[in-house]
Amino acid sequence: MADTTTKTALSDKEALNHSQTKKIRKNRGLDLTTRRNLMGYWFVLPFIIGLFFIYIPALVEAFRFSMSTIVMEEGTYRLESVGWALYHESLFVDPDFFRGIVESIGSMFLNVVIIIIYALIMATILNRNLAAKGFYRAILFLPVIVATGIVANAENFTITTSGVSDIESGSAAIAGGVFSEFDIELLLMSLNFNDTLTGIVVSAIGNLYSIVTCSGVQLIIFLAGLQSISPAIYESATVEGATWWESFWKITIPMISPLILVNAVYTIVDSFTQYGNQVMDGIYKLISAGDYAIASAQSFVYLAVVGVFIAIVVPIINKFVFYENK
Amino acid sequence: MARVKKSRVNRSAGGDISLLLVVLLFAFLMVIPMYYAIIQSLKPLDELWIFPPRFWVANPTFKNFQDLFQNLNDSWVPFSRYIFNTLFVSIVGTFGHVIIASMAAYSLSKKRFMGSNFVFSIIVLSLMFTTAVTGIPTFMVMKNMHFIDTYWSIILPAFSSSLGLYLMKQHMEAMVKDAIIEAAKIDGAGEMRIFWTIVMPMVKPAWLTLIVFSFQGLWNATGATYIYSEDLKSLNYAVSQIVSAGIARAGTAAASIVFMMILPIAVFVFSQSSIVETMSSAGIKE
A131 to chain B: nearest residue by CA?
B20
Residue A58 in domain: no
- Give the residue from B133, B159, B213, B272 with the most A CB atoms within 10 Å of its CB, the best one to mutate: B133
The residue type of A108 is M
Q: Rg of chain B's alpha carbons, rounded to an integer?
A: 24
Distance from chain centroid for Cα B142: 24
Residue A81 in domain: no
* CA–CA dist B105, B99 (Å, integer): 10
B194 vs B238, more confident: B194
- For A7, A24, A243, A312, B216, the CA distances from A19, given in Å and listed in that order, are 12, 9, 61, 54, 58
Question: Which candidate, A259, A183, A251, places its Cα nearest to that of B174?
Answer: A259
Q: Which whole number is the average pLDDT over A189-199?
A: 65
* CA–CA dist A115, A182 (Å, integer): 18
Interface of B with A in 184-243 (CB under 8 A): 185, 191, 195, 202-203, 205-206, 208-209, 212-214, 216-218, 220-226, 236-237, 239-241, 243
B13 to chain A: nearest residue by CA?
A130
The pLDDT tens digits of the residues spanning B98-111 come to: 999 999 899 888 88
Q: Which domain holds residue A296?
A: 89-320
A168 to chain B: nearest residue by CA?
B221
Taking the CA of residue A28 and the nearest CA in chain B, the distance in Å comes to 17
Residue A67 in domain: no
**Residue numbers in B near A287 (CB within 8 A):** 132-133, 135
Phi, psi of A77 (to 5 degrees): -145, 160
The residue type of B1 is M
**Residue numbers in A near B265 (CB within 8 A):** 138, 142, 145
- What pLDDT is attached to residue A321? 84
* CA–CA dist A235, A223 (Å, integer): 19
Interface of B with A in 169-188 (CB under 8 A): 170-171, 173-175, 177-178, 185
- What pLDDT is attached to residue B98? 93
Option in A51, A229, A283 nearest B130 (CB): A283
- Give the residue from A33, A153, A217 with the most B CB atoms within 10 Å of its CB, the best one to mutate: A153
Q: Provide, rounded to the nearest whole percent, the portion of chain A with pLDDT above 90.
A: 1
Verify whether the Cβ–Cβ distance B161 to A171 is below 8 Å.
Answer: yes
B167 in contact with A, Cβ within 8 Å: yes
ipTM of the complex: 0.72
The pLDDT tens digits of the residues spanning A256-314 come to: 888 888 888 888 888 887 766 778 888 888 877 777 788 888 888 888 888 888 888 88
Q: Rg of chain A's alpha carbons, rounded to an integer?
A: 27
A209 to chain B: nearest residue by CA?
B29
The residue type of B64 is N
Element containing residue B108 per DSSP (H, E):
helix B79-110
Handedness of CA A284, B231, B83, B240 (dihedral sign): positive
* CA–CA dist A299, A317 (Å, integer): 26
Taking the CA of residue B271 and the nearest CA in chain A, the distance in Å comes to 11
Taking the CA of residue B70 and the nearest CA in chain A, the distance in Å comes to 18
Q: Which whole number is the average pLDDT over B128-156?
A: 76
Mean pLDDT computed over every residue of chain A = 71
Verify whether the Cβ–Cβ distance A128 to B112 is below 8 Å.
Answer: no
Q: How confident is the model at residue A158 (pLDDT cuts 50, 70, 90)?
A: very low
Is the pLDDT at A91 greater than 50? The verdict is: yes
Q: How confident is the model at residue A177 (pLDDT cuts 50, 70, 90)?
A: very low
Q: How confident is the model at residue B274 (pLDDT cuts 50, 70, 90)?
A: confident
| β-bridge partners, A72 | A77
Verify whether the Cβ–Cβ distance B131 to A137 is below 8 Å.
Answer: no
Is the pLDDT at B10 greater than 60? The verdict is: no
The residue type of A272 is F
Residue B99's CB is within 10 A of a number of other CB atoms, namely: 14
- What pLDDT is attached to residue B92? 93
Taking the CA of residue A106 and the nearest CA in chain B, the distance in Å comes to 18
Option in A57, A227, A258 nearest B2 (CB): A227
Question: Which candidate, A17, A22, A211, A192, places its Cα nearest to that of A114?
Answer: A211
B71 in contact with A, Cβ within 8 Å: no
Number of domains in chain A: 1
Verify whether the Cβ–Cβ distance B257 to A229 is below 8 Å.
Answer: no
* CA–CA dist B73, A196 (Å, integer): 37
Element containing residue B269 per DSSP (H, E):
helix B250-274
Verify whether the Cβ–Cβ distance B5 to A234 is below 8 Å.
Answer: yes
- Give the residue from B30, B171, B173 with the most A CB atoms within 10 Å of its CB, the best one to mutate: B30
Residue A102 in domain: yes
Residue A299 in domain: yes
* CA–CA dist A157, A286 (Å, integer): 17
Q: Is A326 helix (H, G, I), strand (E, B) or coil?
A: coil
Verify whether the Cβ–Cβ distance A46 to B103 is below 8 Å.
Answer: yes
B98 to chain A: nearest residue by CA?
A47
Q: Is A150 helix (H, G, I), strand (E, B) or coil?
A: helix
The answer to whether domain B78-274 has CATH 1.10.3720.10 is yes
CATH assignment at residue A243: 1.10.3720.10
- What pLDDT is attached to residue B239? 79
A262 to chain B: nearest residue by CA?
B167
Domain boundaries, chain B: 78-274
The pLDDT tens digits of the residues spanning B234-268 come to: 887 877 777 766 666 677 777 887 888 888 888 88
Residue A156 in domain: yes
* CA–CA dist A311, A73 (Å, integer): 40
- For A23, A65, A106, A276, B133, the CA distances from A99, given in Å and listed in that order, are 66, 24, 11, 15, 21
The residue type of A106 is G
